[in-house]
Amino acid sequence: MTSQLASQRVARRSSLRIFLMRPEVGSLIGALIVVVFFSVMAPSIRHPGSVSTVLYQSSTLGIMAVGVALLMIGGEFDLSAGVAVITSALAASMFAYQLGTNVWVGVGFALLVSLAIGAFNGWLLVRTGLPSFLVTLGTFLMLQGANLAVTRLVTGNVATNDISNMAGFNSARSIFASTFNVGGTDVSVSILWWLALVALGTWILLRTRVGNWIFAVGGNARSARAVGVPIVQTKVGLFMAVGLCAWISGMHQLFEYNTVQSGGGVGLELEYIVAAVVGGCLLTGGYGSVIGAAIGALIFGVVSQGVVYADWNPDWFKFFLGAMLLLATLVNMLVRHQVNRKQPA
Amino acid sequence: MTDASAVPAVVQLSNVSKYYGNICALSDINLTVRRGEVTCILGDNGAGKSTLIKIISGMHPHDAGVVRVHGKDIHFASPREALDFGIATVYQDLALVPLMSVWRNFFLGSEITTGMWPFRRLDVERMRRVADEELKNLGIDLPDIDAPIAQLSGGEMQVVAIARAIHFGAQVLILDEPTAALGVKQSGVVLKYIAAARDAGLGVIFISHNPHHAYLVGDHFAVLNLGRMELDAKRAELSIEQLVRHMAGGAELQALEHEMHR
C-alpha cells in the first residue's frame, strides 16, 4: 500500500499534461479552427497580401489586448480602454496643432495623458475599494464625453485638424504608422509594435518579480499582501500599462489617418476583454497569458477579414465572434477542469 | 524543558489593547514569547485570538500598550515590517495563491533575481531548487514543484507555508489554527513540523481552539476569553484537564456540566 502510494507520488506529469495546463490551449484550438475554416471558405485569405491585412487587423486589437490581459490577470477590468485610445490621439493632435509645436511634443504630451488616466483609474480603485467595473465605467463615460466636448471646444468640430504638414509628422509617422516591404508584400509597423509588446509582456509576466506579483494580486490579493507584495503599486502600474498600450494604439491611429474622430473607440474595450478571455485569461484574475491574448486578437483578425474575403455580409462578423468567445472559454474551462483535478493521493 | 526565564524574550506585549470602533477586541494583554518555545494561544471563537496575532504580525496596529520585539518598542505599519523583524505568520488561509506553482508561492514577495536592470529577471532554476531542498529538509517530497499549489493536500500546504517562513529567517513563527481544517493524521504531521520549528530555535506562537493539539506541543499556554487573558501558565503548572476546563470558560463549563447532567 505505502509503496504503491509512493510510486504514485513521484510520478511525473506527462508532457502532454504540461502542455494542456497552458492557458493558451483553448485559443490555440480556436485559432486553428478559424484559420482552417476560412482557408477553405475564402481561399483568397491565403495570399500574402491578405495575411498581412489579417495580421494588421489583429495588431490594432492585439496591442491593447496585451495591457488588458495583464490587467485581467491582476484581477481587474478597464472599460475605459477603448475611448482612452482616442483620448491619447486627440491629446497629441490638438496639443501639437494648437500650440504649433513639433508633432513629437504632442506625442510626449499624449503619453503623459495616457499614463495619468491609467494612474487615476488605479488610484481610484485602490483608494475607494470599489470594483474596477464601476470605477472604469465611470472613467469610460467621462472620457467619452470629454473627448467630444473638448474637441468641439478646441477645434469647433467633431474631428481634429489634419496635422500631416506639421514639423515632425513624417518621422513620427515612420515610427507609428509606416509600412515596410517583405518579399513584395507591404507590412505595417503596427505588427512589429504588437509582437514587441507581446514579447515584453510575456517576459514581464513569467520572468520578473513584477510578473509574480501580477499573478498574486489577481489570484489572492490578501495572501499577496500578507507576504509583502506591494499591491497598490502593482495595481496602479497595471492600469498605467493599459495607458501605455492606449498611447501606442492612439499614436498609430493618429499617424495612419492624420486626423482623429472624437467619437470613436466606444465598444472596443469589450473586444480587448474578449481577446484576453479567449486567450485563456480568467475573468476573476490570477491566471492567463499574454500570448493567449495575442492568439485571441489573431482570431479576431482572421474572422473579421475572413468574413470579407468569403464575401459574406459583414453583419456575420459579430455573430462569429460571439460563437468563438463561447467556444474558446468552454474549451478553456473543460481543459482546466480535467488537468487541475487533484491527483489521486 | 529548559529554564524558560533564562531565554530572552523575542516578543513582549505589555498592557496591549485594541478597539474596533467602540468594541474592545483586546484589553490589557501581557504576553511573552521566547525562542525555542511553543506559546499556545487558546480561546473560543471571538475571544480575540485573531486580533492578537494581527497585532503581532503587523496587519493591524495596536491602540494602547507596548509591543517590544527584541527589546525595541515597535508599531508595525504592515506585515512587511513585521517580516523584516523576523516575525512570519502562517495564516489560516496560508497566504498562498492557489493557481500559482509551489515554487512561485514559496518565493512570493521575496523572489530571487539575477542580472542587471533592465534585464533583471527571476532566477527560476535557483528558486525551484531551493524550494525543493527546503521542503525535503522538512520531510516532504513533492512530486512536482511546478504544479499549482491548490493540488496539494491541506497538510502539505501548511508545511509549504511553514518551510517558507523558516527559509526566510523567521525567528518568530505565528501559526493561525494550523490544524483546524485537517484530519487526525494530517494534524499529526503539522504538529511534528511545529515541534521541528521549535527545536530549530524559533519562537512559535500556536493559535488553536483545540487544547489537545496545543498540549501535545505547547510549552506555555495563554487562554483568552472575550478579549481578556484568562490564564497564562507554563506547561509544568498545568494539566490537560485544567487546560480544557479553562478553555471552555472554567466556571461556565461547570454550570453547563451541571445543567446537562443526566
The pLDDT tens digits of the residues spanning B73-86 come to 988 888 888 888 88
pLDDT of residue B118: 84
User: Among A18, A207, A212, whose Cβ lies nearest the Cβ of B108?
Assistant: A212
Distance CA B73, CA B77 (A): 13
Residues 59-118 of B with CB under 8 A from A: 59, 78-80, 83, 89, 91, 93-100, 104, 107-111, 113
Q: Is residue A114 part of a domain?
A: yes
Q: Is A216 in CB contact (< 8 Å) with chain B?
A: yes
Interval A302-319 mean pLDDT: 89
Q: Is residue A132 part of a domain?
A: yes
Q: Indicate if the pLDDT at residue A2 is higher than 60.
A: no
Identify from A208, A223, A283 which residue to disrupt to test chain B contact, counting B C-beta atoms within 10 A and taking the largest count.
Answer: A223
Contacts of A73 in chain B (CB under 8 A): none
Q: Indicate if the pLDDT at residue B4 is higher than 70.
A: no
Q: Is A339 in CB contact (< 8 Å) with chain B?
A: no
B65 to chain A, minimum CA–CA distance in Å? 24
Helix (H, G, I), strand (E, B) or coil at B9: strand
A9-58 residue pLDDT tens: 444 556 777 777 788 888 888 899 899 999 999 999 999 999 999 999 99
Q: Indicate if the pLDDT at residue B1 is higher than 70.
A: no
pLDDT of residue A13: 57
CB contacts < 8 A, A to B, total 92
- Decide which of A64 and A23 is more confident: A64
Identify from B50, B57, B99, B135 which residue to disrupt to test chain A contact, counting A C-beta atoms within 10 A and taking the largest count.
Answer: B99
Q: Indicate if the pLDDT at residue A3 is higher than 90.
A: no
- Decide which of A252 and B134 is more confident: A252
Q: Is residue A12 part of a domain?
A: no
A42 to chain B, minimum CA–CA distance in Å? 41
CB A268 within 8 A of CB A193: no
pLDDT of residue A340: 62
Report percent pLDDT > 70 for chain A.
Answer: 93
Q: Is A219 in CB contact (< 8 Å) with chain B?
A: yes
B146-203 residue pLDDT tens: 888 888 888 888 888 888 888 888 889 999 888 887 878 888 888 888 888 888 888 9
pLDDT of residue A1: 37
pLDDT of residue B189: 82
Lowest mean pLDDT segment, chosen from A22-31, A86-95, B52-61: A22-31
Instruction: For cell 511546478, name the residue.
Output: B146
Residues 3-42 of A with CB under 8 A from B: 9-13, 18
B86 to chain A, minimum CA–CA distance in Å? 12
Q: Is A340 in CB contact (< 8 Å) with chain B?
A: yes
Given pLDDT bands bounded at 50, 70 and 90, which one contains residue B241?
Answer: confident
Contacts of A332 in chain B (CB under 8 A): none
Interval A271-280 mean pLDDT: 93
Residues 6+ apart with CB under 8 A from B212: B240, B244
CB B61 within 8 A of CB B16: no
A224-240 residue pLDDT tens: 988 889 999 999 999 99
Q: Is residue A256 part of a domain?
A: yes
Q: Is A145 exposed, middle or buried (0-12, 13-18, 19+ CB in 10 A)?
A: exposed
Instruction: List the domain range (segments joined by +) for residue A55.
Output: 24-339
Cβ atoms within 10 A of the Cβ of B167, count? 19
The total of structural domains in chain A comes to 1
CB contact under 8 A, A11 and B143: yes
A156-168 residue pLDDT tens: 999 999 999 999 9
CATH 3.40.50.300 assigned to domain B4-97+169-260? The reply is yes
Q: Is residue A13 part of a domain?
A: no
Average pLDDT score over chain A: 90
Interval B228-242 mean pLDDT: 86
A218: domain CATH number is: 1.10.3470
CB contact under 8 A, A9 and B97: no
A180-217 residue pLDDT tens: 999 889 999 999 999 999 999 999 999 999 999 999 99
Q: Is B144 in CB contact (< 8 Å) with chain A?
A: yes
Lowest mean pLDDT segment, chosen from A115-119, B30-34, B136-140: B136-140
CB contact under 8 A, A10 and B141: yes
SS3 track for chain A: CHHHHHHHHHCCCCHHHHHHHCCCHHHHHHHHHHHHHHHHHCHHHHCHHHHHHHHHHHHHHHHHHHHHHHHHHCCCCCCCHHHHHHHHHHHHHHHHHHHCCCHHHHHHHHHHHHHHHHHHHHHHHHHHCCCHHHHHHHHHHHHHHHHHHHHHHHHCCCECCCCCCCCCHHHHHHHHCCEEEECCEEEEHHHHHHHHHHHHHHHHHHHCHHHHHHHHHHHCHHHHHHCCCCHHHHHHHHHHHHHHHHHHHHHHHHHHHCCCECCCCCCHHHHHHHHHHHCCCCCCCCCCCHHHHHHHHHHHHHHHHHHHHCCCCCCHHHHHHHHHHHHHHHHHHHHHHHHCCCCCC
A235-271 residue pLDDT tens: 999 999 999 999 999 999 999 999 999 999 999 999 9
pLDDT of residue A344: 43
- Chain A's closest residue to B98, CA to CA, is A219
DSSP annotation of B243: H
Interval B97-124 mean pLDDT: 90
Q: Indicate if the pLDDT at residue A4 is higher than 90.
A: no
Given pLDDT bands bounded at 50, 70 and 90, which one contains residue A8?
Answer: very low
Instruction: For cell 490587467, name the residue.
Output: A71
Distance CA B162, CA B155 (A): 11
